[in-house]
Chain A
Amino acid sequence: MIEIRIHGRGGQGGVTLAKIIATARFLKGDSVQAFGLYAAERTGAPLQAFCRYDREPITNRNLIYEPDHVIVLDPTLVGPAITAGLKPGGWILINTDRFPYEFAEQFPGYRAATVDATSIARRHELGTRSVPIVNTALAGAVARLLDFDLESVRAALEHLAFRGRNFDAAAEAFERVVIVDDIDRTGAAPRRIAPPTARVRGIVDGGGAERPGIRTGQWATQQPRRREWTPPCNHVCPAGNDVQGFLQALALKQTDEALEILLRTTPFPSICGRVCPAPCMESCNRLSLDEAVNVRELERYAGDHGKCSLRPRSFRAQQIAVIGSGPAGLSAAYHLALLGYQVMIVEGGPALGGLLRTGIPPYRLPRDVLDREIDRILDLGVEVVRNTRIDRRRLFDLASEFDAVLVATGLAELRSLDLGSTGDDESVMQGIDFLDRANRGEMRVDGERVVVVGGGNTAFDAARSALRLGARRVRIVYRRTLEEMPAIAEEIDEAIEEGVACDYLTLPVRIERGGGEARLGLICRRMQLGEPDASGRRRPVEIAGSDFRVEADRVLLALGQSPDLSVFPEGTEVRDGEDVLGLLQTPVYAIGDLATGDGTVAAAIGSGRRAALGIHSVFSGEDLAPPPTRGEEVIRSGAMKLHLFESAPSHHGMSRPAEERRFDQEEVHAGLADPAEAVRCLSCGVCNECDRCVTYCPEGVLKRVGHEFIFDYEYCKGCGVCAAECPRNVILMARL
């Protein structure tokens, strides 16, 4: 009886090679057995296959421990194991491109042969280029070594229906196999192996924790690697906030930590938590599952309930003037102060806050919240000069007195509309001026019919304020549709709830004085939507002959604002974060809406911070600005395993009923009662230590130590279960 042992890896066809040899002998009339030693049936795992043949019927059914010959399908398996039990004088056939002489030396007492079955298989296009099927070639080599003719291999392959070029590969290997047939009989007798006999430790005495002796990491063809992504919310936040970070802190009910994360980038979490249009929520991957995480309300929660104050990280002697105390100027002052600089804010009016104070009504942003967040900045030691307007000459003075000047005067030029007779009785006002006076308590519109022109937040703030100041009726006219309105959707809804009427696709044309019930008549024209314009919004087109009159005692214009650049020399180009003048070698930056025109508090905060970091880099050479995120580093919903998350409705904070709130200036929203909403954050692309990978690792080779996840690559077989189970795509499989 001849017994052959085959050493291969899962997927290489070792069992089939045993079957080919057995078939060849079977067709010659032998009794045969072909079998594998089955265990972990994984690609790449070392496995053994066996073949027996004999002229007499084979009766024994045990495994083969003392083979007559061995065949090695994969040269990386060459080691002491391949000669275990091998009978002296037996063949060792190895699939390798090397000559057999070194193996003959390595394994004295045996006959060695090599054949490059991998190249032969590739040449005959058997299997794929990465996983060539080498067994038919090796069958040819075996026929040569064991003196059964090539025809019997052909017959076996035909019997098994292995057609195509399999036989060509066998024939080539038959010819090419290189043989060392001079046996060193002086070699030591091979060690005999027997079935394992020692009793292993039982489960009760903890034997289950023993590491396997085989370093199974060698089997791997791929390995898991961790790689974090930028969540879309962080990517789009104009202020540069770590949205995912503070949400995860809140999810763990760590409100103070959440606030600290926010305060690293913004001085105004309580403000943005009330007035931010929240582009993070528009980009939230959770929208593909149910509703966006209510980031705005959670930021408010962190700002209102967290306790944390950052201190300047060092002392720096440079003095920096900030002109304007809107959100951009305050943000710049805040970040500069945190970096240790000596900051003085120059404000034209009596109070700090810019549009935050003059433009946003207290029922949306209570004044105590605003004052508290401004105090956070002043507490860092920022000095303030009020009621001081800066013109071009004063700017030069400041540039010579200070080490750097930041200009953050915002959008001081109000856009207007030629409606003919506007009069001078304040019956036609700019919405911003109306709000400023209303917010200072210097305005009433009792019993008036108020018409607001525009569709932005100023228009809605003015409309809702007019209601609170006694207006009989308030309506907004807007030349496009609800879809195109730039105001925050929630504010539009609330205004309508409170009774503000909206006329869409309506263009004010002119004002008539008298001729009706009210002081004024606003003549409007119906519009329809035409082709998209440069902004992608469909351009409204007038409908001829559709003019109609809207009765109005007061018309408020909220048509947007433009920067007032008169403080700079003629022709100055203003770009965000860039030194505009080079006056006296003093850096002068224009920031916020003045430079960007973005028009949101969040964008102003980001602009102020960028300028602060830019100035710091000029003075210290230290670049603290985070590198810009490229689009491909942002994780989109398609890369998230959303099926692993359960749908859960979003938490919305309580609002006071419209019929109650529309008559006073108290805050409309109560905010969230608790931070439970933060649990809905999917932590896209950022590990939040959910431990799912550790739980699912079938080999126990992944563990967490503190905040660190450690793969034991010595034992990791590269099965990929951790990567498949990571809900947020933080684990990727790398090809080895």
Chain B
Amino acid sequence: MTLELVTGNHAAGYALAAAGEANRFARGAACGIYPITPQTEIVEYVAKFPFSKGRIIAVESEHSAMGVSIGASMAGARAFTASSSNGLAYMTENIMVAGLYRLPIVLAAVNRTLGPPWNIWADQGDTLYLRDFASIQLYCETNQEVLDSTLLAFRLAEDRRILLPVMVIMDAFILSHTQTETDLPEQALVDDFLPPLLLPHQLNFDHPATIGGLTWPRETLSQRIEIDEAFERVPAAYEEHRAEFRRIFGRDVGGMISMEDTEDAEAVLVASGTIASTARQVVRQRRRRGERIGLVKMKMFRPFPGEALLDACPKAGKFGVLDRDYAAGLGGVWWHDLRSAMQGRRDGAIVQGYLTGGCGGDVTPDMIDEVIDDLLNRRSAGKPVWKGIDR
């Protein structure tokens, strides 16, 4: 294992390129790319990569970038792209199309605040709002996790039981532009982990087919049900590929969720992305002071691993959800999903939302402490609490 100092963008670009290169004995790698801060370095990396087979096409918009990747994927290439913020918003129609076409495209997304006003810093709102499309979402905490999850994403996406796009997501700047030590695996290992892609519905001149034409409600419904069934198979498939990842690379890519002292915890923080790092540090400190609190780090957002979360926190009666996002008129998206998952399973538990670090705000240990204090003192849940600003 050789550690290098690289940014999150570099890690994502490395993994996308290595995965694409691993398909050189099949149909190669292909994608459309378009720049936007803070993900531009990702597409720059893959654009410079000397692929043995394949083509990287610079296009005029994010919508077209995903369009090219859709076409490439349908033709059997290992396809991917990257975007952020308003770029994702503009790409949205084709993200939806990729899912409904059941294409195993990996989308590296760097969370950036949606504008206006113009703000380049981290906010998960630009990916969470894609929650209703047929796409798996994986949120990362470190540069290593970005790299590893990107490789895992291809295996998960290309699994014939799944065949869905996967979004690998990181916080703007906190990961994308921060250099930390990261293992960049050799191509041979990536080749082992990612066998050549053979898409079952790959376009084929010998067997012409019409795809995406008009279907009646019943046929369309059956397509949606197939997607729902695929999502149901994701947790089991994820664990299989996670085990395979450990076998080949010798480390854990991380679970769909991961726990810190939750077995006996009475109060649990729920966090994702880099906020989980800072929260874990605070939770550990307070544990040492004897407080029975825990942390669940959410890596997977769709499908939402609510059951796993509740199983991991058998004693918890209070959940504090840290959302680096804001769904207008609602509050935090993670908070909302957790409340749904609770329904009929842990009725009476307090599920309190905290809007922390949205719009690029910094989440400090002090802020996490305040959240924990607030949660512990609560007798009932209330409206989501805005943090980082006096109101």
Residues of A within 8 A of B (CB): 18-19, 22-23, 26, 31-36, 38-39, 58-63, 65, 194-199, 203
Is A198 a contact partner of B179 (Cβ separation < 8 A)?
no
Q: List, in ascending order, chain B residues with CB within 8 A of A198's CB.
A: 389-390
Is B278 a contact partner of A31 (Cβ separation < 8 A)?
no
Q: List, in ascending order, chain B residues with CB within 8 A of A203's CB.
A: 117
Is B362 a contact partner of A63 (Cβ separation < 8 A)?
yes
Q: List, in ascending order, chain A residues with CB within 8 A of B3's CB.
A: 26
Partner of A195, one of B180, B275, B388: B388
Say yes or no: is B319 at the interface (Cβ < 8 Å to chain A).
no
- The residue in B5, B38, B121 that gathers the most chain A C-beta atoms within 10 A of its C-beta is B5
Partner of A33, one of B178, B278, B388, B391: B178
Q: List, in ascending order, chain A residues with CB within 8 A of B389's CB.
A: 196-199
Is B390 a contact partner of A195 (Cβ separation < 8 A)?
no
Is A26 a contact partner of B277 (Cβ separation < 8 A)?
no
Chain B interface extent, by class: 20 to 34
Partner of B180, one of A33, A39, A63: A33
Is A35 a contact partner of B173 (Cβ separation < 8 A)?
yes
Q: List, in ascending order, chain A residues with CB within 8 A of B275's CB.
A: 61
Is B5 a contact partner of A19 (Cβ separation < 8 A)?
yes
- CB proximity to A under 8 Å, residues B286-303: none
Residues of B within 8 A of A (CB): 3, 5, 38, 117, 120-121, 141, 171, 173-174, 177-181, 274-275, 277-278, 280-281, 361-366, 388-391
Task: Determine the distance from Cα of A58 to Cα of B179 in the docked complex, in whole angstroms.
Answer: 12
A59-B278, A61-B277, A199-B391 as given contacts; A35 in contact with B361, CB under 8 Å: no
Partner of A61, one of B120, B177, B179, B274: B274
Task: Determine the distance from Cα of A26 to Cα of B3 in the docked complex, in whole angstroms.
Answer: 9
Is B363 a contact partner of A62 (Cβ separation < 8 A)?
yes
Task: Determine the distance from Cα of A26 to Cα of B274 in the docked complex, in whole angstroms.
Answer: 21
Is B177 a contact partner of A38 (Cβ separation < 8 A)?
yes
Is B181 a contact partner of A32 (Cβ separation < 8 A)?
yes
Q: Which residue of chain B lies nearest to A62 when distances are taken between CB atoms in the complex?
A: B364
Partner of A199, one of B141, B278, B366, B390: B390
Q: List, in ascending order, chain A residues with CB within 8 A of B178's CB.
A: 33-35
Q: List, in ascending order, chain B residues with CB within 8 A of A59's CB.
A: 277-278, 280-281
Q: A34-B5, A62-B278 are in contact. List 19 more A-B contacts (CB 8 A).
A: A26-B3, A26-B5, A32-B179, A32-B181, A33-B179, A34-B178, A34-B179, A36-B173, A36-B177, A38-B173, A39-B120, A58-B180, A60-B278, A61-B275, A61-B277, A62-B364, A194-B364, A194-B366, A199-B389
Q: Which residue of chain A lies nearest to B357 when distances are taken between CB atoms in the complex?
A: A62
Q: Which residue of chain A lies nearest to B179 when distances are taken between CB atoms in the complex?
A: A34
Is A22 a contact partner of B179 (Cβ separation < 8 A)?
yes
What is the CB-to-nearest-CB distance from B359 to chain A, in angstroms, rounded to a whole number? 12
Task: Determine the distance from Cα of A219 to Cα of B82 in the docked complex, in whole angstroms.
Answer: 33
18 residue pairs from A and B, CB less than 8 Å apart: A18-B179, A23-B5, A26-B5, A34-B178, A35-B173, A35-B174, A35-B178, A60-B277, A60-B365, A61-B174, A61-B274, A61-B277, A62-B278, A62-B362, A194-B364, A195-B364, A197-B388, A199-B389
Q: List, in ascending order, chain A residues with CB within 8 A of B390's CB.
A: 197-199
Q: List, in ascending order, chain A residues with CB within 8 A of B180's CB.
A: 31-34, 58
Is B274 a contact partner of A32 (Cβ separation < 8 A)?
no
Q: List, in ascending order, chain A residues with CB within 8 A of B388's CB.
A: 195, 197
What is the CB-to-nearest-CB distance from A173 to chain B, in angstroms, rounded to a whole number? 22
Task: Determine the distance from Cα of A371 to Cα of B46 in the docked complex, in whole angstroms.
Answer: 80
- The residue in B364, B365, B390 that gathers the most chain A C-beta atoms within 10 A of its C-beta is B364
Q: List, in ascending order, chain A residues with CB within 8 A of B174's CB.
A: 35, 61
Q: Which residue of chain A lies nearest to B363 when distances are taken between CB atoms in the complex?
A: A62
What is the CB-to-nearest-CB distance from B113 to chain A, in angstroms, rounded to a whole number? 13
Partner of B120, one of A23, A38, A60, A195: A38
A38-B120, A59-B278, A60-B281 as given contacts; A195 in contact with B181, CB under 8 Å: no
- The residue in A35, A197, A199 that gathers the most chain B C-beta atoms within 10 A of its C-beta is A35
Task: Determine the distance from Cα of A203 to Cα of B117 in the docked complex, in whole angstroms.
Answer: 9
Q: List, in ascending order, chain B residues with CB within 8 A of A38's CB.
A: 38, 120-121, 173, 177
Q: Which residue of chain A lies nearest to B273 when distances are taken between CB atoms in the complex?
A: A61
Task: Determine the distance from Cα of A197 to Cα of B260 in the docked complex, in whole angstroms.
Answer: 30
The 9 closest A-B pairs by CB, nearest first: A35-B178, A61-B274, A34-B179, A61-B277, A59-B281, A62-B364, A63-B362, A60-B278, A197-B390
Partner of B5, one of A22, A39, A60: A22
Task: Determine the distance from Cα of A33 to Cα of B143 in the docked complex, in whole angstroms.
Answer: 11
Is B181 a contact partner of A31 (Cβ separation < 8 A)?
yes
Task: Determine the distance from Cα of A19 to Cα of B5 in the docked complex, in whole angstroms.
Answer: 8
Is B362 a contact partner of A195 (Cβ separation < 8 A)?
yes
Q: List, in ascending order, chain B residues with CB within 8 A of A22's CB.
A: 5, 179
What is the CB-to-nearest-CB distance from A202 to chain B, in angstroms, rounded to a whole number? 11
Task: Determine the distance from Cα of A33 to Cα of B364 in the docked complex, in whole angstroms.
Answer: 16
Q: List, in ascending order, chain A residues with CB within 8 A of B365's CB.
A: 60, 62
- The residue in A26, A32, A61, A198 that gathers the most chain B C-beta atoms within 10 A of its C-beta is A61
- The residue in B117, B179, B389 that gathers the most chain A C-beta atoms within 10 A of its C-beta is B179
Q: Which residue of chain A lies nearest to B274 when distances are taken between CB atoms in the complex?
A: A61
What is the CB-to-nearest-CB distance from B203 to chain A, in angstroms, rounded to a whole number? 42
Is B179 a contact partner of A35 (Cβ separation < 8 A)?
yes
What is the CB-to-nearest-CB distance from A344 to chain B, in angstroms, rounded to a whole number? 73
